[in-house]
Structure 1
């Protein structure tokens, strides 16, 4: 039991990184990680010893995020007199590139963004992602390919094709 607790705690930095990229804001990401850890802690008895704790927690996070997306919510940010704002790095272009990348990531369909982040940011295998999301590995590869292509087009400023169907 003690070992599984330590494994859970060791997963927090990766959960935070993925949640930040998935949600797009620090407060929402922290809430998602906290909810994930709480649910994982409460369901720790359902985790199979010897299996990948990270994949198990990412599955929990995925399900929580799906629940969040299904519920309508208002985006808010709490500020007070003591709010700290991050210092601007010396290189403005780096910050702009990161902002552009985050904006482009948020423009991807959720299914594609999720797979792109799990492969690129978390370096998870296709099989692990497929198991975690409950989809075939071929679907993971397809979503990754489409997501990378759309991300590339967005970052290069290539206009997107708009396919409209004529309905009579």
Structure 2
């Protein structure tokens, strides 16, 4: 026998989830799992994990909006695909196109998934081409190092006097790992 299971989430602990819970119960949820103070970008939310464990093939997961379960489009598509692979339907109360219990809902989701994957692939390809172009121009991506030449020189002097990486980091106002990387670069032989 299939069951309709609700999932609700509020971002802050002081927020009330009562309205979401009531909507889900009125729409037919036999049980509602609720996370308080949890971000939708975190997969390991306690009640979300419990909800996923509770769901069985043939069940329907009911949410008020898709952003309750996923913090990004990619995460939403992966979640819906995972549920689909497990034989679990998903239905959104405020987004009628998200209803995999109907043939039209499944078809629309398939189309949305294709376009979302195309978007992800396009972003990845544009990023790769941008990085290749920057390298060809002699630029390297990433944040500039916090270890300026002056800080590196000071770190080399302190290390020569036996100071620990943690101590050097505290004195220079940077992390010990930044000091370690800078010292490794300073010790590396220069190309001739």
TM norm structure 2: 0.28
Please tell me whether Structure 1 or Structure 2 has the larger radius of gyration of its CA atoms.
Answer: 2
User: Which is strand-richer, 1 or 2?
Assistant: 2
User: Which is helix-richer, 1 or 2?
Assistant: 1
TM norm structure 1: 0.30
